[in-house]
């Protein structure tokens, strides 16, 4: 069975492509505030770039991205749109189940939206896919301690939200969409610490402008190294998924 759809292979677009015998990568992100300097679809852009770079190394096909996720922490900022965890789980699971039924030889998720409830919903989708098809979805949680330490060694730490990490990635991926980051003061509050203390919004965690860390320290070079490392993490996870 072949499925015609718009997919990409290493950044090259195809109007029709058969999934039969090919691994597929589904990028997932969110529509949420990323400070005054980054676009609402920052996570979608990062996840898609991560997927396309990994695809160029594996001959995988990149499916159209899912641009919405669970975005409770940014709910008070204009432009943020969230969907319930159950909706995200069902949508991701059904897309990957259908890809499996279309003959895909492997399934993977490239995700850049690291809100805990969003991660949980994606893991639930992976469990659903395995329950229905028996297939294991390669889903590296890049916010985990193991992966975050690796990213910090390669370039820079995950500094919460819209800081050096995400701003650097966007400077490498879509620099024209990064505006005014060099003038933003650093926010010393740590989002992860705020979450541990029970914060449920960016404001409660100490980020009144929907960013943490130091956007002004971001560089394109850091972003390129981060993107290479993200792609490598995804490729390695795909190679070990069984």
90-115 burial: b if 16+ Cβ within 10 Å, else e? ebbbebbbebbebebebbbbbbbbbb
Question: Taking all residues of the chain, what is their mean pLDDT, rounded to a whole number?
Answer: 94
Q: What's the order of all strands across the beta sheet hosting 61-62?
A: 12-14, 7-9, 61-62, 23-28, 106-111, 137-138
Reading the block at residue 99, the tokens are 């890809």
* Distance in angstroms (rounded) separating the CA atoms of residues 35 and 199: 18
Asked whether residue 194 is domain-assigned, the answer is yes
- Does 54 score more than 70 pLDDT? yes
Ranges 3-12, 20-29, 80-89: which has the least confidence: 3-12
CATH code for position 65? 3.40.50.10310
Asked whether residue 1 is domain-assigned, the answer is no
User: If we measure between CA atoms, which residue out of 125, 105, 119 comes closest to residue 61?
Assistant: 105
Query: How many folded domains does the chain comprise?
Result: 1
Tell which wins on pLDDT, 71 or 16.
71
Give 119-168 pLDDT, tens digit per residue. Answer: 999 999 999 999 999 999 999 999 999 999 999 999 999 999 999 999 99
Asked whether residue 2 is domain-assigned, the answer is no
Q: What is the per-residue pLDDT for 7?
A: 61
pLDDT band at residue 18, thresholds of 50, 70 and 90? Answer: confident
What value does the mean pLDDT take over residues 35-47?
A: 98
Asked whether residue 224 is domain-assigned, the answer is yes
* Distance in angstroms (rounded) separating the CA atoms of residues 149 and 141: 12
Query: CA 235, 88, 109 angle in degrees (round to 5)?
Result: 5
User: Which residue is it, tokens 């889903």?
Assistant: 139
What value does the mean pLDDT take over residues 201-207?
A: 98
Neighbours of 1 (CB within 10 A): 8
Q: Which domain holds residue 161?
A: 7-240
Secondary structure (3-state) at 101 = helix
């Amino acid at each position: 069975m072949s499925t015609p759809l718009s997919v990409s292979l290493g950044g090259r677009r195809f109007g029709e492509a058969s999934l039969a015998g090919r691994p597929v990568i589904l990028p997932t992100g969110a529509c949420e505030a990323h400070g005054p300097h980054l676009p609402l679809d920052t996570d979608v852009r990062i996840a898609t770039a991560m997927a396309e770079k990994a695809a160029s190394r594996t001959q995988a096909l990149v499916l159209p991205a899912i641009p919405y996720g669970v975005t409770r922490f940014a709910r008070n900022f204009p432009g943020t749109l969230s969907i319930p965890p159950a909706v995200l789980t069902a949508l991701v699971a059904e897309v990957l189940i259908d890809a499996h039924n279309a003959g895909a030889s492997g399934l993977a998720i490239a995700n850049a939206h690291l809100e805990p409830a969003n991660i949980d919903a994606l893991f639930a989708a992976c469990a659903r896919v395995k329950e229905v098809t028996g297939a294991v979805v390669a889903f590296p949680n890049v916010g985990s301690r193991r992966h975050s330490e690796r990213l910090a060694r390669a370039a820079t730490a995950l500094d919460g939200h819209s800081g050096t990490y995400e701003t650097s990635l966007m400077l490498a991926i879509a620099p024209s969409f990064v505006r005014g980051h060099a003038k933003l003061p650093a926010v010393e509050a740590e989002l992860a610490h705020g979450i541990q203390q029970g914060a449920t919004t960016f404001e409660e965690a100490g980020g009144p402008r929907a960013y943490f860390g130091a956007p002004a320290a971001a560089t394109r070079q850091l972003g390129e190294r981060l993107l290479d490392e993200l792609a490598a993490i995804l490729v390695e996870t795909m190679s070990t998924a069984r």
